Amino acid sequence: MAHTQPIISDRYPYLRVHIRIRAWEREAYALLDTGFTGNLVVPVNELTQAIGLPDSRTGWTLADGSMVASSIYVGSVQISELPAIGGIGITFLGDECIMGRGLIDRYRITFDHGERLIVNL
């Protein structure tokens, strides 16, 4: 059955996500970053050998204009109670979980006056 109720996050501008890469799983709050074109960045300190080898590598241009190379792991991401989305490229970089346009653009998200996020399919 499809989830039809909106997801409301009062932890603006973060959404609760469940991340899975192979046997590795984490719950986190991801900052929504409309200027990031990727899918999801997870803090580098979460990367463990248990995840295994990366599926690919890519380069990112950071907000300060610098370039950084990073590994990509294919996994799934679930926002709150919404259905999980598989086949998502997930990068381990920095020290904060960040959700970019690759995921954000799959939903209708309302940034409600700097107080809450409302997510609809």
Q: What is the DSSP code (8-state) at residue 105?
A: T
Give the DSSP letter string of 3-61. --SPEEESSTTEEEEEEEETTEEEEEEEEE-TT--SSEEE-GGG--GGG-S-SEEEEEE
Read off the pLDDT of residues 28-72 as tens digits, 9 standing for 90 and up: 999 999 999 999 999 999 999 889 999 999 998 888 999 999 999
Give the pLDDT band of residue 22 (cuts 50, 70, 90): very high
| Residue ranges of domains in the chain | 7-120
Give the pLDDT band of residue 2 (cuts 50, 70, 90): low
Mean pLDDT value across residues 7-17: 96
Is 100 in contact with 41 (CB distance < 8 Å)?
A: yes
- The bridge status of strand 98-99 relative to strand 24-32 is parallel
- Hey, which CATH number is domain 7-120, 3.50.50.60, 3.40.50.720, 3.90.190.20, 2.40.70.10? 2.40.70.10
Question: What is the model's pLDDT at position 3?
Answer: 63
